[in-house]
Amino acid sequence: MDFAHAFREFDYDNVLRLWEVLWSNYLSEHFHLYMCVALLKRHRRKIMDEQMEFDTLLKFINELSGHIDLESTLRDAEALCLFAGEKGAACITLVTPAVSAAGPET
């Protein structure tokens, strides 16, 4: 999901609030992922009912731009993060490909 794209049309105060929450790493360094899950969870019925393919889902998420309630999404993401706890954080593995001076491994 293009997280930055979906949240691109917040007003200035909400952009500052979002960045403050994300950069503080207060609950998790992966809070942005919980934000994405909260957004998908909020719209899960429509996504599931329409059996959206990946391209359709991306289009749908992009069309949410400007229509996302930041406060409720933050609350939902916080609840998900707290519910997942340490076990949830342990499930998140960010894989970064090894890069040598010669370039990425193939």
Domain extent listing, the chain: 3-104
Given its phi and psi angles, is residue 51 left (phi above 0), alpha (psi -120 to 50 degrees) or beta? left
**What is the tens place of the pLDDT at every residue in 24-76?**
988 888 888 899 899 999 999 999 999 999 999 989 988 888 888 999 999 99
Q: What's the CA gap between 106 and 103, in Å, rounded?
A: 9
CB 52 within 8 A of CB 62: no
The tally of CA atoms less than 13 A away on the side-chain side of residue 9 is: 10
CB 99 within 8 A of CB 40: no
Residue 28: per-residue pLDDT = 86
**What is the tens place of the pLDDT at every residue in 26-40?**
888 888 889 989 999
N residues, the chain: 106
